[in-house]
Amino acid sequence: MSSEEAKKRIAELSAELKTHTYNYYVLAMPTISDYGFDKKLEELIALEQQFPEWLAPDSPSQKVGGFITKEFATVKHRWPMLSLGNTYNEQELTDFDQRIRKAIGDNFEYVCELKFDGLSISLTYENGELLRAVTRGDGVQGDDVTTNALTIQTIPKKIKTTGYPEQFEIRGEVFMHLKAFERLNNERVENGEQPYANPRNFASGTLKMQDSAEVAKRPLDTFLYFLYTEKLLFRTHWESLEAVKTWGFPVNEHNKLCGNINEVFDFIKYWDKKRFDLSYDIDGIVIKVNSYAQQQELGFTAKSPRWAIAYKFKAEQAETELLNVSYQVGRTGAVTPVANLQPVLLAGTTVKRATLHNADEIELRLKLHEHDWVFVEKGGEIIPKITSVNLAKRKPDAKPVMYMSNCPACGTLLKRKEGEAAYYCLNEDGCPPQIVGKMQHFIGRKAMNIDGLGDETIETLYQKRFIKHISDLYHLADHKEALMLMDRFGEKSINNMLEGIELSKAMPFAKVLFGLGIRYVGETVARKLANYFKTIDRLATATFEELLLAEEIGDRIAQSIIDWFKDEHHRAEIENLKASGLQFETVEVEVKLASESLLGKTFIISGVFEKYSRDELKDLIEQHGGKILSSISAKLNYLVAGDNMGPAKLEKAQKLNIPIISDQELFGLIGE
């Protein structure tokens, strides 16, 4: 390879790796396997060593990986959070062992630990209390997520024993258990939201949420595995792990002290099979030299310690025949293709179905044909996925699998929305799965929470033509005698159902709004909208610009709300629900003013603030007599501006000569 060819290839690899790093760390949506990433990185490093003149300071080979998000304060790590070198086979691990022996001799031990598939975290304690929690970020600095970390039950807020140093740092991994992931992901699908691909992505997305109250609702967990102190307290890593356990930190029970590389291999082989019995995902084993003195002697490269390495498991695969592709219609109208497979044993379970995601997956990436033999992988996914096709087994006359053009439930022509991968059935008021799905969503625990009604009952009532719309639920009492003639509908169960429906009329506006099932309006967004607009009528008539003024409302949500209220069937349904006595207004709680320093003053809050949410600033203004407006006009006294404020708002405020102040200047007006 010539120097110019090397330059071009190095540039290509660098660009690719930077994109993959951003997708993994910032978006929490990786688009390449760990193995594929490592192979590209190895190629880049080899070329840079051969042609050092093209080694750039910002090359992916020189970075640990990751970017800093803008939502949190950035904190520099006292000790850099380096990544580990990866290996995928026994020979590479043997080579690692021989390098260690060559450097420090034969008298040493290894500590083997499970490699958790989560998000790295660094916790700093001072005088026994949690001072700060920081993500890995780029290895040099990360995001301060202390408020969110405080919601994780297994992270000690205050150490209750003795013997710990005055200040120390402990590192580990935040993760989500598989059952919790499955339950929460199902809720996202029910809410019309994009499901996460795996628990790691969900944990990462959760830890970086701005609303810690929402983080607290998601069951994150953690294992901690490395202690940093100014003064060396222990001789070995194993001793430190035993000590931090007594301090109350969650240390994984499966760690093992190994006397030689053969014991390490035994540990790896054991967990390569047993990992599927765990309640959480692991993707390999971490091997560390036990002695701290020997760790110091071995030292570090620019990217990773020489005394530790990660052995990565290859995701288990199985080959089986594609029987056919079926399609599921969700309550939002999204049509999801599913591969039906010849049953095959994979990772301890029998797999009969695999997700195909969308039309591009079928027609462009996999280029699936009828009765193809496919490779199925579980890896970090809960739902198995097809990774590739065995072209050698494809029949010569096999026809390509074509994504269906019409809804499988009602026959309506499917449409693909601009910028989205999924196809949708737009017949939301005439497509049975959508109608039933919307009603099932409405009665759900997080919406109207109607006792005595379940998904199967809703389906039965729809099939028997008792209900066609959500509002029909509130007229079921008129059909009590007819209901009692149905199988499995006894008088007691009917009474419980009718009582639950009656009680649901008292549910607050935010719950009703969420229950309506407006696309992209999840539980949190519904609450923000109800608090901001106060009534359904104000929300229904809000302009696009007015909707954007509400916290957490972006272009996509705003347009979805406008489109929903344009539909005359939806407006009629609101009127029917109003007539039945449901709550469409937020009940105002009388506020006792902390002072009258902002009395008569009007405010709009826009942008992102480092220490406060917009709701907190809004409450503060109202507590001191100020009033929040919904749009910028000459009546506005102050625009409180944070980061990432929309340029249109800024321009309008400047045109009207409205004072633009920071949150600190707001505190000055209050006198704090």
Residues 192 and 251 in one domain: yes
The answer on pLDDT for 55 being more than 70 is: yes
Band (pLDDT 50/70/90 cuts) for residue 340 is: very high
**CB 277, CB 348: distance < 8 Å:** yes
256-258 and 317-329 beta bridge pairing: unpaired
DSSP letters along 618-652, please? HHHHHHTT-EE-SS--TT--EEEE-BT--HHHHHH
**CB 206, CB 199: distance < 8 Å:** no
Q: Which of 320, 316, 294 has its CA nearest to residue 307?
A: 294
**CB 552, CB 583: distance < 8 Å:** no
Sign of the alpha-carbon dihedral angle for 188, 193, 197, 201? negative
Beta strands in 102-188 (DSSP E): 110-116, 119-126, 129-135, 141-143, 167-176
pLDDT value, residue 471: 96
Residues 503 and 248: their CA atoms lie apart, in Å, by 45
Kindly report the CATH number assigned to the domain that includes residue 86.
3.30.470.30
Lowest pLDDT segment from 63-67, 278-282, 455-459, 639-643: 63-67
**What's the CA dihedral at 112, 116, 121, 122 to 10 degrees?**
-10
**CB 170, CB 227: distance < 8 Å:** yes
Give yes or no: 578 in active site: no
Q: How many residues does the chain have?
A: 672
Residues 51 and 96 in one domain: no
pLDDT tens column, 612-629: 777 788 889 988 989 888
Beta strands in 45-145 (DSSP E): 74-76, 86-87, 110-116, 119-126, 129-135, 141-143
Average pLDDT value for residue range 48-62: 83
The answer on pLDDT for 647 being more than 80 is: no
Band (pLDDT 50/70/90 cuts) for residue 357 is: confident
Residues 82 and 111 in one domain: yes
Q: Where do we find the tokens 């000055």?
A: 668
pLDDT value, residue 65: 54
Sign of the alpha-carbon dihedral angle for 334, 335, 339, 340? positive
The answer on pLDDT for 380 being more than 70 is: no
Residues 500 and 353 in one domain: no
Lowest pLDDT segment from 152-161, 381-390, 428-437, 503-512: 381-390
The encoded tokens of residue 187 equal: 């809720």
Kindly report the CATH number assigned to the domain that includes residue 352.
2.40.50.140
Residues 320 and 229: their CA atoms lie apart, in Å, by 52
Of 630 and 651, more confident:
651
The answer on pLDDT for 644 being more than 70 is: no
pLDDT value, residue 64: 57
pLDDT tens column, 124-161: 999 999 999 999 987 888 989 999 999 898 999 999 89
Cα separation values, 175 from 80, 204, 205, 207, 391, Å? 21, 8, 11, 10, 37
Task: Show which of 291, 312, 333 is a domain's final residue.
Answer: 312
Which residues lie across from 369 on neighbouring strands? 400
pLDDT value, residue 436: 95
Residues 78 and 140 in one domain: yes
Sign of the alpha-carbon dihedral angle for 164, 165, 167, 168? negative
Which amino acid appears at position 455 of this protein?
A: D
Q: Is residue 366 part of a domain?
A: yes
Q: Is residue 585 part of a domain?
A: no
Q: Is residue 409 part of a domain?
A: no
pLDDT over 90 for what percent of the chain? 55
Residues 369 and 357: their CA atoms lie apart, in Å, by 16
**CB 111, CB 259: distance < 8 Å:** no
**What's the CA dihedral at 90, 96, 100, 101 to 10 degrees?**
50
The domain in which residue 609 lies consists of 602-670
Residue 550 gets which letter from DSSP? Answer: S
The answer on pLDDT for 637 being more than 80 is: yes
The encoded tokens of residue 275 equal: 């990992």
Judged by DSSP in three states, 126 sits in strand
H or E stretch covering 276? none
The answer on pLDDT for 22 being more than 80 is: no
Residues 541 and 634: their CA atoms lie apart, in Å, by 21
Kindly report the CATH number assigned to the domain that includes residue 498.
1.10.150.20
pLDDT tens column, 342-353: 998 886 678 899
Residues 115 and 247 in one domain: yes
Give this prediction's pTM: 0.57
Cα separation values, 333 from 433, 435, 469, 566, Å? 8, 10, 16, 18
Q: Which of 175, 343, 346, 374 has its CA nearest to residue 276?
A: 346
Lowest pLDDT segment from 56-60, 303-307, 463-467, 631-635: 56-60
Judged by DSSP in three states, 3 sits in helix
pLDDT over 70 for what percent of the chain? 93
pLDDT value, residue 646: 63
Per annotation, catalytic residue among 40, 63, 115, 378: 115
Average pLDDT value for residue range 75-96: 91
Kindly report the CATH number assigned to the domain that includes residue 7.
1.10.287.610
The answer on pLDDT for 559 being more than 50 is: yes
Task: Show which of 279, 312, 345 is a domain's final residue.
Answer: 312
Band (pLDDT 50/70/90 cuts) for residue 184 is: confident
Band (pLDDT 50/70/90 cuts) for residue 575 is: very high
Residues 469 and 347 in one domain: no
Residue 366 gets which letter from DSSP? Answer: S
Q: Is residue 590 part of a domain?
A: no
Packing angle of the helix pair 3-25, 34-50 (nearest 10 deg) = 150
Average pLDDT value for residue range 634-644: 86
Q: Is residue 447 part of a domain?
A: yes
Q: Is residue 594 part of a domain?
A: no
Residues 217 and 281 in one domain: yes
Q: Is residue 427 part of a domain?
A: no
Average pLDDT value for residue range 549-573: 91
pLDDT value, residue 102: 93
Residues 49 and 142 in one domain: no
Band (pLDDT 50/70/90 cuts) for residue 26 is: very low
Residues 637 and 616 in one domain: yes
pLDDT value, residue 70: 54
Task: Show which of 506, 534, 564 is a domain's final residue.
Answer: 506
Band (pLDDT 50/70/90 cuts) for residue 273 is: confident
Q: Is residue 634 part of a domain?
A: yes
Residues 555 and 193: their CA atoms lie apart, in Å, by 15
**CB 258, CB 110: distance < 8 Å:** yes
Judged by DSSP in three states, 268 sits in helix
Residues 557 and 648 in one domain: no
Residues 367 and 322 in one domain: yes
Q: How many domains does the chain have?
A: 6
Q: What is the mean pLDDT of the chain?
A: 88
H or E stretch covering 321? strand 317-329
pLDDT value, residue 618: 87
H or E stretch covering 614? helix 614-623
